[in-house]
Amino acid sequence: MKALLRDLPNTVSRLLGHGLTPEALIPAAQACSIDDQQPTLSTLELADLEDALLDWLEDHDIEDAWNVAPAPSESGVSVDRLGQATQGIPPEAVQDVIAWLQESTTASRLIGEVHAASDRISDLVKSVKSYSHMDRSNDKQPVQLVTGIESTITMLGHKMKAKGISVEKNLPPDLPPISGFPGELNQVWTNIIDNAIDVVPEEGRICVAASTFGERVEVCIEDNGPGIPDHVLPRIFEPFFSTKDVGEGTGLGLDIAHRIIVQQHRGQILVETEPGQTRFRIQLPIS
């Protein structure tokens, strides 16, 4: 961005040196304007557009056309818009008009990326704060389970994205709060969902749902991993028991989750498993 802002005045100065009137530059200025609502192009569509722009640039003898084409194509500038931008422009000025278009569209795209990155950082900070519940007391308090689960999914989003895992959520916003420790409950969601991420295959699936029945709330976390073998199932809540390779797991995740749910919150964890499906059902009293 700094380099573009440094070079842009020189480009404008060269344009003015061609004696172009403001009216002549209006089509080019319109071509430089990027539509925020423009649909995202697929990789194939982007490649086709870049090829088309490259052909147009080479036909008009634009220097370093191969280096110019990517910027307008990434901003969705079509060949028609290039034609409109240079309509009525003297041939000797076309090179500088295209340079102006390239620099302006690149600057607009970078501003969009900064904006999107800032939003993402803000979302992550909110999730971290919600996840850790900073500045909260150590006494039990009303806990909105959906908020903690959503924050946990956001925190683990990078691991899911790396494996192409899809997440299906059925989390009703009107789920009644329970009395508990939000930070500890977030550890439960983290340990169980993190285990699910480890066992599901590439492009696997994790489903997270919540519901009420009677005086209890139930959170169900299901994955399409290989399932838990019969000889392992009775030991999954034992401390230091792990099926992961040495150095990859402590064997404490489910033990901690079990202690938090059963001992601290008077709830229970039920496990249902078969090849291709494992479901953890966490039940907590509403009051």
Cα(147)–Cα(212) distance, integer angstroms? 16
> CA dihedral defined by 18, 22, 27, 29, rounded to 10 degrees?
90
**Residue 168 in tokens:** 């299906």
Identify the weakest region by mean pLDDT among 44-53, 136-145, 226-235.
136-145
CA distance 29 to 179: 59
- Please enumerate in sequence order all residues whose Cβ is within 8 A of that of 156, keeping only pairs 6 or more positions apart, or say none: 190, 193, 194, 197
How many residues make up the chain in this entry?
287
Closest listed residue to residue 196, CA positions, set 224, 168, 169, 170: 224
d(CA 141, CA 136): 9
| Torsion 203-205-206-207 (CA) sign | positive
41-66: average pLDDT: 83
- CATH superfamily assigned to domain 133-285: Histidine kinase-like ATPase, C-terminal domain (3.30.565.10)
Q: Measuring CA to CA, how many Å separate 138 from each of 5, 132, 180, 183?
A: 52, 12, 10, 9
Grade residue 34 by pLDDT with cuts at 50, 70 and 90. Answer: low
- Higher pLDDT: 21 or 118? It is 118
Structure tokens at 286: 């509403």
| Domain boundary assignment for the chain | 2-116, 133-285
pLDDT band at 168 (very low <50, low <70, confident <90, very high): very high
Q: Lowest-pLDDT range, 15-19, 176-180, 183-187? A: 15-19
What pLDDT does 251 receive?
64
Compute the radius of gyration of the chain from its Cα atoms: 28
Q: What confidence score (pLDDT) does residue 26 get?
A: 77
Output the 3-class SS for 76-89: CCCHHHHHHHCCCC
Encoded tokens for 224: 């399409």
> What's the CA dihedral at 111, 115, 121, 124 to 10 degrees?
-150
C-alpha angle 52/56/61, rounded to 5°? 145
Q: Which whole number is the average pLDDT over 137-161?
A: 86
pTM beyond 0.75: the answer is no
d(CA 197, CA 125): 22
Percent of the chain with pLDDT over 70: 87
218 vs 89, more confident: 218
Q: Which residues contact 217 (CB under 8 A, 6 or more apart)?
A: 145, 175, 176, 178, 210, 211, 283, 284, 285, 286
How far is residue 47 from each of residues 50, 98, 108, 277, measured CA to CA in Å?
5, 20, 20, 40
Q: Are 46 and 73 in contact (CB under 8 A)?
A: yes
Output the six-digit token pair for 16.
């003015």
The whole-number pLDDT of residue 102 equals 81
Q: Is the pLDDT of residue 40 over 80?
A: no
pLDDT reported for residue 188: 92
